[in-house]
Amino acid sequence: MQVLSKMTPVPVTCLEYVHPWTQSCTLATAELMIVGVQYCLRIYAAVYALSLVMRGRIPTLPELRKTLRGWLQSTAFLTTNAFSYSIMMCSLRRLLGSYNFYTASYVPAFFAALISIMVERSSRRALLALYVSNVATETMWNILQSRGMVKSVPYGEIAIFGLSTSVLMYCFRKNRQKDYRDSMFDVVRFAIGDSEVMKVDVPEGGESTTATLTRESNQRKNSKYPLPFIQAAVQAYSQLTGRLKAMGKHKLCRHRYGCVYDTLSSGARMFSIGLGIQVVMKAVLQMRKFINRPALLRKTFLSKDIARLGLFLGGFTSIYKMSSCLLRHFTDSDSPMFAFPSGLLASAAFAFYSDKTIALYIMWKTLQITYNWGIEKGYLPRVPGFTVMLYAVSTALLFHAATIEPENLRPSYWKFLHSISGGRICVMDRSGFDVYGLNTSGQIRTMMNLCKTEPILQVQLS
């Protein structure tokens, strides 16, 4: 089969390609809007309800009103992105008279994304741009790899995570006066602690470390437990932790107790958090399986996979803090530059839970932080509309891949497009674009197996 140039027109109509289930462009757009509204209302209802629950208190009436407005506005944004994509494809066909490789999806998706992002609140645009850029980066790599232009790099996601984390930790340590605020810094502070970013002094007139240890030890000794072996275990634990806390630390180390205790206690805390997250997620997501097959409980919760997230979080925290302490001991100094070797060494723990999505998210988040910080410091110019354009360019790439070469798209994103379109993404007739040599029709048949494709939802409109 002859492979045509990317600019060569393909003589197909929007009826044959975009909406073969109906002869009306208007009706097809209206159907997408109705189906999209129903799906988006459910999705964002869960998102905004979760945001209220995470506040840990009963929301006030103004907060409920703000949440309701945000829910409806986000629903309008995502629905607009869905049905305006159909409008743009039909309009370009009427305007240009035909489709080519670029106008088949990328160009109409770009304009649809540009319009829809303006519907969403400005405070959420950066978050949305960050997410789609993450997925688009992975998709572009898959596209280049499928064409033989790049090759898969072993442990590439660990390298990306290590380099990005090192820069992020440097920014975190450099931000001693909190002159730049970002939610990612709160996550880092939760994992690493304030001891790596600010000095923790004992208040004047307060207890010294030795006095505190003595008081804590006496409290444990005087505590009464119902069983002797429990009391013996507690006393042994108290003696061990007391010795670890009393072990020396460098004068520039800002943690309260000894370096060994700080490293081990921080790692154990993050390991327990990671393990708890995995247990809860397994219990919630597989509850029905556990009820039907109780034997899966033992197999699931005693498997090695259940501890992978905990090993990553605990290992990363322990290695980072241990490396930072050793550098202070060996150099007799402290510097934000220590974040680079410590971050690179700690990233080895990512091998326990290596994931491209996490690595790319950290990379894009680090780029966002350094860019915004550079603007505030006057080092970088502010580019008007950069977030909006980034969202439009990235979203257009994802829609293009879903239309022309879907096997290069992340499966979860394909399922999302399948759901928001009511299955219509699978019904679009792409056979005319097989002339570009990408086996588009064959890829679609493969991707359809990922979803239990049912007949598309028919919407009756008079």
* Cβ(270)–Cβ(309) below 8 Å: no
Predicted confidence at residue 454, as pLDDT, reads: 46
**pLDDT tens, residue by residue, 320-376:** 999 999 999 889 888 889 999 999 999 999 999 988 889 999 999 999 899 888 888
* Cβ(180)–Cβ(373) below 8 Å: yes
Across residues 42-71, what is the average pLDDT? 85
Predicted confidence at residue 228, as pLDDT, reads: 63
Predicted confidence at residue 302, as pLDDT, reads: 77
∠ CA(309), CA(313), CA(317), 5° rounding?
A: 165
Position of tokens 């649809």? 112
> Given its phi and psi angles, is residue 205 left (phi above 0), alpha (psi -120 to 50 degrees) or beta?
left
**pLDDT tens, residue by residue, 87-107:** 999 999 989 888 989 999 999
> Given its phi and psi angles, is residue 405 left (phi above 0), alpha (psi -120 to 50 degrees) or beta?
beta
Domain boundaries, the chain: 1-155+384-451, 163-198+234-353
* Cβ(106)–Cβ(60) below 8 Å: no
* Residue type at 47 in one-letter notation: V
Q: Is the pLDDT of residue 399 over 90?
A: yes
The pLDDT mean for the chain works out to: 83
Q: Is the pLDDT of residue 149 over 50?
A: yes
Q: Is the pLDDT of residue 391 over 60?
A: yes
* Residue type at 177 in one-letter notation: Q
Band of pLDDT at residue 69, cut at 50, 70 and 90: very high
**Residue of 21 and 214 predicted with greater confidence:** 21
| Residue 93 neighbours by CB distance under 10 Å | 21
Q: Is the pLDDT of residue 458 over 80?
A: no
* Residue type at 330 in one-letter notation: F
Task: Assign 126 to helix, strand or coil.
Answer: helix
Cα(309)–Cα(278) distance, integer angstroms: 7
Predicted confidence at residue 191, as pLDDT, reads: 85
Q: Is the pLDDT of residue 71 over 60?
A: yes
- Smallest Cα–Cα separation from 339: which of 196, 199, 200? 196
**Residue of 367 and 221 predicted with greater confidence:** 367
**pLDDT tens, residue by residue, 160-207:** 999 999 999 998 888 765 666 777 888 888 888 777 664 444 444 444
User: 122-146 vs 356-377: helix axis angle to the nearest 10?
Assistant: 130
Predicted confidence at residue 210, as pLDDT, reads: 52
Across residues 43-53, what is the average pLDDT? 85
Predicted confidence at residue 55, as pLDDT, reads: 73
The torsion defined by the Cα of 127, 129, 130 and 136, in degrees rounded to 10, comes to: 150
**pLDDT tens, residue by residue, 25-41:** 999 999 999 999 999 99
Cα(29)–Cα(21) distance, integer angstroms: 12
Q: Is the pLDDT of residue 455 over 50?
A: no
| Residue 91 neighbours by CB distance under 10 Å | 15
Position of tokens 């006496």? 218
Tokens, residue 113: 């994304």
Predicted confidence at residue 287, as pLDDT, reads: 78
pTM for the predicted model, two decimal places: 0.80
Beta bridge pairs of residue 99: 10
**Residue of 291 and 137 predicted with greater confidence:** 137
* Cβ(351)–Cβ(158) below 8 Å: yes
* Cβ(17)–Cβ(404) below 8 Å: no
DSSP 154: T
Predicted confidence at residue 232, as pLDDT, reads: 63
Predicted confidence at residue 227, as pLDDT, reads: 54
**Residue of 295 and 149 predicted with greater confidence:** 149
Band of pLDDT at residue 239, cut at 50, 70 and 90: low
The torsion defined by the Cα of 439, 444, 447 and 453, in degrees rounded to 10, comes to: -160
Band of pLDDT at residue 151, cut at 50, 70 and 90: confident
Band of pLDDT at residue 440, cut at 50, 70 and 90: confident
Band of pLDDT at residue 409, cut at 50, 70 and 90: very high
In percent, the amount of the chain with pLDDT more than 90 equals 37
